Amino acid sequence: LQMAYGVNAPIPSLAQAADFTPTERDRMIIEHERPRTICGTPEQVAERMLALKDRFAADELVVLSVTASYKARLRTYQLLAEAFDLAA
């Protein structure tokens, strides 16, 4: 939502996100952007990423994990590495 509104601010924490009550416009933006996101278990995410790679005949994928904390971001990358059987 921050990008949609042109807001340059820190990513909200999980607690802040849980307390957030979206407006009708916010919900419309979220639904519009949802197809561009990949979330789920590590296996589900890996499956969707591989499907995108195949769909676009890509040689590589770039992952950007948007989280409020470095620890959560690092854990996301660790889980992806495990899902793709990559050495950590």
Task: Report yes or no on 88 lying in a domain.
Answer: no
36 within domain boundaries: yes
More confident residue, 9 or 57: 57
pLDDT in tens, 16-64: 889 999 999 999 999 999 888 898 999 999 999 999 999 999 999 999 8
Number of structural domains in the chain = 1
Domain range for 9 is 2-83
Q: What is the pTM of this model?
A: 0.73
Average pLDDT estimate for 70-84: 93
For residue 73, tell me if it sits in a domain.
yes
- Does some domain include residue 32? yes
What is the per-residue pLDDT for 83? 93
Whether residue 76 is predicted with pLDDT greater than 60 in this model: the reply is yes
Distances (CA, A) of 1 to 10, 19, 33, 76: 12, 15, 9, 21
Cβ-contact 51, 13 below 8 angstroms: no
In the predicted structure, residue 88 carries a pLDDT above the cut 60: no
